[in-house]
Amino acid sequence: MSIDSKELENIYSRLDTVKDPEIGVSIVKLKMIDSIEKDSDFLNIKIKLTVPGCPLSATIEKDIKAALGGAGYENVNVAFGYMTRKELEDVKSTLSENRRDLPPPIAKYTKKNIKNIIAVYSAKGGVGKSSVVVLLALTASRLGYKTGILDCDVSGPSVRTLFNSDWHASINNENKLNPLVDSNIKIISIDMLTNAEALVWRGPLVSSAIKQMYSDTDWGELDVLFLDLPPGTSDGPITVFQTIPVDRILLVTTPQNLSQVIGKKTLIMAEALKVPIVGIIENMSYLVCDHCGEKIYLPDSKTRILNGIPILGRLPFNKAVSTDIKSLDFDSLHSLESVIKYSLIESDGGVDLRRP
Ligand SMILES: Nc1ncnc2c1ncn2[C@@H]1O[C@H](COP(=O)(O)OP(=O)(O)OP(=O)(O)O)[C@@H](O)[C@H]1O
Ligand SMILES: [Mg+2]
């Protein structure tokens, strides 16, 4: 049964109110509507997801049915396909055009005496970002780089705990915060400034806390500052990308499908925010056999390049990460050395920061 143009326009305007739950832009603007057909009883809508098997398709279906239910369409079928690479490229440019859906750009802080600022990020929680930040920093410090960590996870800071410290940052003569210094790494986090657990952080507070920690800490001269980002695409990460002069993003994923899927969305978000991604670290990628030293990869852990972004390193599952991260044997972290060298050289405009 055909749908006349007026009715189609009405349906599209209803669908325009439905947003991709993760990207936060209308599914119409993202050109996710593949087809709309009507038979005697049903309105059949086919949606193209940005990635196959997107775990949020159930939410999109629910939102579509709610939006159309209000216009008298009680029987709606929603089916899903997914976008081609070319269509995904279009989504990225649409996202750039729709940057007004994101908070307005703010003037960025200067880099001061920090040569490289690298954000470690994933839209998915619990993939090991904080652990990877600490391992990267320990490796960088061991390689002789002057290293810092800014824990940007204001609602759930974990870096101080990973260093097994109860440091509280005092203010020095220059009115700057004294960071914790451990393993030659300068570290600041919100739980060094206040009893973070006692506070419920709202958006603007999250943003100002991150900005203050960046600008008010006595970093001195650093070769590299690693930023441990909270998961998701909320105020925290957006503040970081909009106000701190991040050179590059290192993306963390795990071999499981879900984080790969969300990882792809992260790529889209990062592109919209115009921060380049240097590569991916796959965490909890394999186990090393206690007896023979063989690396046992998880079934899903195969080389994958997400949208042309290389996987720069793979880290083993190792229980010492949660029990005593500083005790980890650096041979098993060999891949992080090359990640660091690659990231720093690349992001310093070609200046080789490698130590002799
Ligand atoms: N390579 C690893 N081997 C073993 N356990 C790990 C590894 N990486 C992370 N973990 C464990 O997984 C859990 C989540 O790690 P972590 O807190 O670093 O993740 P996250 O991505 O920062 O989480 P959030 O999104 O909540 O900030 C922790 O218990 C940590 O000890
Ligand atoms: Mg974390």
Residue 274 lies in a domain: yes
Other C-beta atoms closer than 10 Å to the C-beta of 301 total 18
DSSP string, 325-353: GGG--GGGGHHHHHHHHHHHHHHTTT---
Q: Whose CA is nearest to atom 10 of ligand 1?
A: 128
Residue 106 lies in a domain: no
Residue 352 lies in a domain: no
pLDDT band, residue 356 (cuts 50/70/90): very low
Q: Is 120 in the pocket of ligand 1 (CB under 6 A)?
A: no
Q: Is the pLDDT of residue 266 over 60?
A: yes
Q: CA-CA distances (angstroms) from residue 202 to 98, 107, 267?
A: 24, 21, 26
User: Structural domain tally of the chain?
Assistant: 2
- The pLDDT of 139-150, averaged and rounded, is 94
Q: Are residues 276 and 132 in the same domain?
A: yes
Residue 354 lies in a domain: no
Residue that finishes a domain, picked among 100, 128, 151: 100
The phi and psi torsions of 181 (rounded to 5 degrees) equal -115, 115
Residue 49 lies in a domain: yes
Q: Are residues 148 and 195 in the same domain?
A: yes
pTM: 0.72
Residue 109 lies in a domain: no
Q: Is 81 in the pocket of ligand 1 (CB under 6 A)?
A: no
Q: Are residues 245 and 153 in the same domain?
A: yes
Q: Which atom of ligand 1 is nearest to the CA of 319?
A: 4
Q: Is 155 in the pocket of ligand 1 (CB under 6 A)?
A: no
Angle between helices 5-15 and 57-69 in degrees, nearest 10: 130
Other C-beta atoms closer than 10 Å to the C-beta of 64 total 22
- Bridging pattern class, strands 277-288 and 248-253: parallel
Judged by average pLDDT, the poorest of 68-77, 111-120, 296-305, 331-340 is 296-305
The whole-angstrom separation of Cα 10 and Cα 21 is 22
Residue 356 lies in a domain: no
Dump pLDDT digits (tens) for 168-191.
998 899 889 999 999 999 999 998
Q: Whose CA is nearest to atom 30 of ligand 1?
A: 322
Q: Are residues 130 and 278 in the same domain?
A: yes
Q: Any idea of the CA torsion for 333, 337, 340, 341, to the nearest 10 degrees?
A: -170
* Domain extent for 119: 114-347
User: Which of 134, 321, 324, 328 maximizes ligand 1 atoms within 8 Å of its Cβ, making it the mutation to test the pocket?
Assistant: 321
Q: 211, 218, 210: which is closest to 172 by C-alpha?
A: 218
Residue 41 lies in a domain: yes
Q: 20, 47, 37: which is closest to 75 by C-alpha?
A: 37
Residue that finishes a domain, picked among 100, 124, 139: 100
Predicted pLDDT of residue 198: 46
What share of the chain has pLDDT > 90, as a percent?
Answer: 28
Question: Which residues neighbour ligand 2 (ion) by CB within 5 Å?
Answer: 129-130
Q: Are residues 216 and 333 in the same domain?
A: yes
Q: Are residues 164 and 283 in the same domain?
A: yes
Q: Which atom of ligand 1 is nearest to the CA of 317?
A: 3
Q: Are residues 87 and 161 in the same domain?
A: no
Which one of the ligands is nearest to 134 CA?
A: 1
Q: What's at 227, amino acid-wise?
A: L
Q: CA-CA distances (angstroms) from residue 343 to 41, 166, 167, 353?
A: 57, 31, 30, 10
Q: Are residues 133 and 212 in the same domain?
A: yes
Q: Tell me, what CATH number does 244's domain have? A: 3.40.50.300
The more confidently predicted of residues 230 and 2 is 230
Residue that finishes a domain, picked among 44, 72, 100: 100
Q: Kindly give, in sequence order, each residue whose CB lies less than 8 Å from that of residue 92, ignoring residues fewer than 6 positions away.
A: 268, 271, 272
Q: Are residues 165 and 306 in the same domain?
A: yes
Q: Tell me, what CATH number does 53's domain have? A: 3.30.300.130
Q: Are residues 20 and 126 in the same domain?
A: no
- The pLDDT of 143-164, averaged and rounded, is 93
Q: Are residues 91 and 192 in the same domain?
A: no
Q: Which atom of ligand 1 is nearest to the CA of 322?
A: 31
Q: Which of 137-146, 232-241, 318-327 has the highest mean pLDDT?
A: 137-146
Q: Is 253 in the pocket of ligand 1 (CB under 6 A)?
A: no
Q: Are residues 212 and 239 in the same domain?
A: yes
